[in-house]
A and B are shown apart, each in its own frame.
Chain A
Amino acid sequence: MSRLSSFSHNAEMTLKDRFMRLSWFYIFLICLVAATGLVVLYAAANGNWNPWASKQFVRFCLGFSVMIVVGMTNLRFWLKYAYAFYTVAVIMLFIVEFFGHDAMGAQRWLNLGFIKVQPSELMKIALILALSRYFHGGSLQDAQSMSYLVAPSLMVLLPVALVLKQPDLGTAVLMASGAVILFFLVGVQMWKFGVMACLGLISLPIGWRFLHDYQKERVYTFLDPERDPLGKGYHILQSKITLGSGGIFGKGFLQGTQSRLNFLPEKQTDFIFTVLAEEFGLIGSVSLLMLYLVLIFYGCLIAFRSTSFFGRLLALGLSANLFLYVFINIAMVMGLLPVVGVPLPMISYGGTVMLTLMFSFGLIECVNVNRDVQIGRRGAYDD
């Protein structure tokens, strides 16, 4: 402990030191989830590595190196460039508005030539980074004063509005909720959340008018999935059938009839949880949820081992973000929430999500590596 604490005064650690300070248990948990994801994607393709599991594995490997690299960086770097990172993400969101690649009726993709990225995914992390930096610099009294909250609120509203316009309700909800959790963590008074909730409820009918027809349809379908079982309600009904028919023990690996016979279109993405639940039953679905919870709370544990406020807030915010992913996705496939298009972290097939998740795990690792580095309020401006 004495040897390690010596770093507190000396931010310059060797690469080897940093590598040694990575949380290998946390990495192990991440690998466990990713392995589960590969198994489920393998099952979703009727016992084939192609077309999903193999590609996902490559992405995981890429993401893994990103995580290790990011984990071994200096936390001050992220504090220093948080706003820059945020600005780049916002610009990318603007670009996607005008030059975006069309997919499924929504412009979410930016084609960079060699890779297609979803700026909205990066935006989630950039927002958490920016807010963490902002609140790192303020006191509790600041956080509880109204004027102090104007800037971060704008920081949240700008990307949320852009993402909503894409339109990507799922990401907007994730981003906004993630931000609300950060506001909550830094000590903004409860009554302010109460007021916000009331204002939100009042403006709901107005906001409703700005929703796209298909988004309204999704809400209708959520409220009554059986009203059009072969049309709009087909997804959620089949999703519930797939889950429910798994029973306690499941139908067995590669024995899921619903997924094998394609009753769930696009099952490899947002509805991947049902494939697992069908083949491994309640045991499988509860185990996965528990695995996620362990991952999330271990992230919180890392947060509290950190001495810097920035590090704590960053790790807590990213873990909360992970939780939101998990909760919204599983609640959605079980018919508890409308279908909003939120993937299941590390398991749903998708490149950008995998990479941004691994990036955020890298940041949490970075917090862990730099847990003894003390960063003052003005740490962003120190050298």
Chain B
Amino acid sequence: MITRDGDKGKMLTRRAAMVAGGQLFLSSVLLGRMYWLQVLESDRYKTLAEENRISTRLIAPPRGLIYDRFGTVLADNNQNFRALVISEQTEGNLNATLEALNKILPLTDAEIQRIRREVRRSRDFTPVTIRENLSWQEMAAIQLNAPDLPGIIIDEGLSRYYPGREESAHVLGYVGVVSEQEIATGENPLWKLPGFRIGKAGIELQYNAELCGKEGAQRVEVNAVGRVIRAIERDEGVAGKSLPLTIDERLQKIAYKRMKNQSGSAVLLDIYTGEVLMMVSTPAFDPNAFNRGLTSEEWKALSNNDRKPLLNKALGGLYSPGSTFKMVVALAALEAGVIRPETKIDCRGYTMMGNHRFHCWKGAGHGELNLKEALMHSCDIYFYEIARRTGIDKISAMAKKFGFGSLTGINLPGEKAGLMPTRHWKEMVLGEQWLQGDTYNVGIGQGAILATPLQLAVMTAALANDGIKVKPTLIVPENRNPNATQGEYLNIPKNYLQLMREGMFEVVNNSKGTAKWAHIDVDGKLIAGKTGTTQVKRISMKEREQGLKRQEDLPWEDRNHALFVTFGPTDSPRYALAVVIEHGGGGSTTAAPIARDIMRAALKLDPAAKQPVKPHKTIISSKGIK
């Protein structure tokens, strides 16, 4: 009995020792694991814990302001007051708060539904936007009634504002909310911020990256459900760069006012620097409306308008240059040696090519004319003849030198290259052979040839600056030298260019010139120019026999396009201007007077003579933000 109990006790001792050994072994496993987690892997877990703890919230940087060349603000930032609701602060009754707010700030049913939906979807402490762009009165009313509006807060943001409204709409473009597709490309983390806006057109689009600035970040400590416990650090980011443009806001205003009832565009260049001093396209749109967000009716009205208010016609509108192209034809003929300046050609109102009759715009004919006179009268017969003598190849080559058919390279989106037809082009694209009649048409700037008003302005600048093709720009160049021409030297004999300028002088300043109504004298400064009228609808033989209708009697869309290119002052040129009025009737009657008024303002204000102002300081808003 005792021995048996003794065996039992010995067994217990032995087994207890084994259990203890097992326990020590398992404990050492735990120790090993502790060492692994808390020493070897500790850095990894410390990082993970930090990531848990810290949440980075982006801060939108203020968008850079856009100025004109003398420091007038074209695109500003305004304080934008938003009403937000934080549902956890509504004392548990969101509906009561919204009802109370409804008495101060009437809300539509749709708004209330959207707010309820967003509140349901987001966490209790996340602010939900009630309305943006509150007026001062609305904002003040909400602030005053704050005790009755638990959970409602007013948040200040910045909103883009274009004080000139339509005036510079096509140059500046506009900003808008980031579209779903743009977010999908995920280029910029800022895009995901609610209400963040990016450039959608014009300078706003072209220089979006510079204007955007660098996002700031607020590092906050959050708990497991994402509620902010405290702010750790705040990096305001870098405000967008201020952008001084080359345009003169005063000229924009004058030109827009003069043209707003037309459908057309005008571009004014500094012929030496290529700076765009004015660029207007009409009808225009209010870029502020895009920032606010267009209603679908507003959008339909804009996009369905046959006068295309959204298109920047100065660089996106394509027109036959018509008679404004005649200088290029003349230069090609002179360089080809097929005429000399004094060569005379007899205009009898029409010319025959085979059995096809080509008419001069003046049915009765001009009689014998030399080149200068032909330009002054804009005689079509003269240019049919010299075009025939020169041939399409040489005309195309000269036109291409002046930039026809290729992009000017202006720093704005949406530019079109136009078209300068050649034999090769016709064969390749139309599959037809080049005909003599095509050359006749090109001789007077008609036919397949298409150019933008900007290209015409560049051409005019090259005629005025002795043969240098400038690259138009909207940003003041870094090392601006107002006296040395920057551009591509076209290598055209100076006496030929001089002859062209003399011809253009006669157009405006001779009492028989086609644009004698455009004559101005600003303190002795005169302008020179060339009219152009291009047919939109082909005139049939029958119509011609019945007698041509007056342009005013035609429906708008059948009227001719009216063009005018001009430079000035004539004794020492500085400005080149191209004006194209769609269906304006005639270059001399519609385009030339508009061009004259713009040139008068340009010569008076003389913006190229003064050094542009460079705004150094980056400011958030022209009015200053508290």
Task: Name the prevailing secondary structure of the B interface residues.
Answer: helix
Assembly CA distance A29 to B35 (angstroms): 25
Residues of A within 8 A of B19 (CB): 181, 184-185, 316, 320
Are the CB atoms of A289 and B30 closer together than 8 Å?
yes
Considering only CB atoms, which chain A residue lies closest to B51 in the complex? A241
Are the CB atoms of B16 and A282 closer together than 8 Å?
no
Assembly CA distance A263 to B229 (angstroms): 13
Contact (A285, B34) CB under 8 Å given A248-B42, A263-B224, A312-B12: yes
Q: Which of A35-43, A295-303, A341-349 contacts B (4 or more CB under 8 A)?
A: A295-303
Residues of A within 8 A of B33 (CB): 331, 334, 336
Contact with B along A171-192 (1 / 0, CB 8 A): 0000000000100111100000
Q: Does A323 contact B (CB under 8 A)?
A: yes
Contact (A327, B30) CB under 8 Å given A297-B20, A303-B16, A320-B19: yes
Contact with A along B19-59 (1 / 0, CB 8 A): 11001101101110111011101101110111011000000
Residues of B within 8 A of A300 (CB): 16, 20
Smallest CB–CB gap between B373 and chain A, Å?
86
Are the CB atoms of A323 and B23 closer together than 8 Å?
yes
Are the CB atoms of A247 and B23 closer together than 8 Å?
no
Q: Does B499 contact A (CB under 8 A)?
A: no
Considering only CB atoms, which chain B residue lies closest to A136 in the complex? B8
Assembly CA distance A336 to B29 (angstroms): 9
Are the CB atoms of A187 and B11 closer together than 8 Å?
yes
Q: Does B613 contact A (CB under 8 A)?
A: no
Residues of B within 8 A of A330 (CB): 30
Q: Does A240 contact B (CB under 8 A)?
A: yes
Residues of A within 8 A of B34 (CB): 243, 277, 282, 285-286, 289, 334
Contact (A244, B42) CB under 8 Å given A187-B11, A296-B23: yes
Are the CB atoms of A246 and B5 closer together than 8 Å?
no
Are the CB atoms of B8 and A139 closer together than 8 Å?
yes
Residues of A within 8 A of B223 (CB): 261-263
Partner of B16, one of A240, A244, A316: A316
Are the CB atoms of A286 and B31 closer together than 8 Å?
yes
Assembly CA distance A119 to B504 (angstroms): 110
Q: Does A268 contact B (CB under 8 A)?
A: no
Assembly CA distance A289 to B35 (angstroms): 13
Q: Does A23 contact B (CB under 8 A)?
A: no
Number of residues on chain A facing chain B (CB within 8 A): 49
Smallest CB–CB gap between A3 and chain B, Å?
25
Assembly CA distance A311 to B39 (angstroms): 42
Are the CB atoms of B52 and A258 closer together than 8 Å?
yes
Assembly CA distance A242 to B49 (angstroms): 7
Residues of A within 8 A of B30 (CB): 289, 327, 330-331, 334, 336
Considering only CB atoms, which chain B residue lies closest to A249 in the complex? B38
Of residues 332 to 389 in B, which have CB atoms within 8 Å of A's CB atoms? none
Of residues 2 to 24 in B, which have CB atoms within 8 Å of A's CB atoms? 4-5, 7-9, 11-13, 15-16, 18-20, 23-24
Are the CB atoms of A262 and B11 closer together than 8 Å?
no
Partner of B27, one of A143, A285, A289, A313: A289
Assembly CA distance A242 to B45 (angstroms): 7
Of residues 144 to 186 in A, which have CB atoms within 8 Å of B's CB atoms? 181, 184-186
Q: Does A245 contact B (CB under 8 A)?
A: yes
Name 11 extra pairs, CB < 8 A, besides A257-B49, A334-B30, A336-B29.
A140-B4, A186-B12, A241-B48, A242-B45, A243-B34, A244-B46, A244-B49, A245-B49, A261-B223, A263-B49, A320-B23
Q: What are 23 A-B contacts with C-beta separation under 8 Å?
A: A139-B4, A185-B19, A186-B15, A187-B11, A238-B52, A243-B38, A244-B48, A245-B49, A248-B39, A248-B42, A257-B49, A257-B52, A257-B221, A262-B224, A277-B38, A286-B34, A289-B30, A289-B31, A303-B16, A327-B23, A327-B26, A334-B33, A336-B30
Q: Which residues of B contact A (CB under 8 A)?
A: 4-5, 7-9, 11-13, 15-16, 18-20, 23-24, 26-27, 29-31, 33-35, 37-39, 41-42, 44-46, 48-50, 52-53, 221-225, 229
- For the complex of A and B, 3 pairs with smallest distance between CB atoms: A244-B45, A245-B49, A187-B11
Q: Which residues of A contact B (CB under 8 A)?
A: 139-141, 143, 181, 184-187, 238, 240-248, 257-258, 261-263, 265, 277, 281-282, 285-286, 289, 293, 296-297, 300, 303-304, 309, 312-313, 316, 320, 323, 327, 330-331, 334, 336, 377
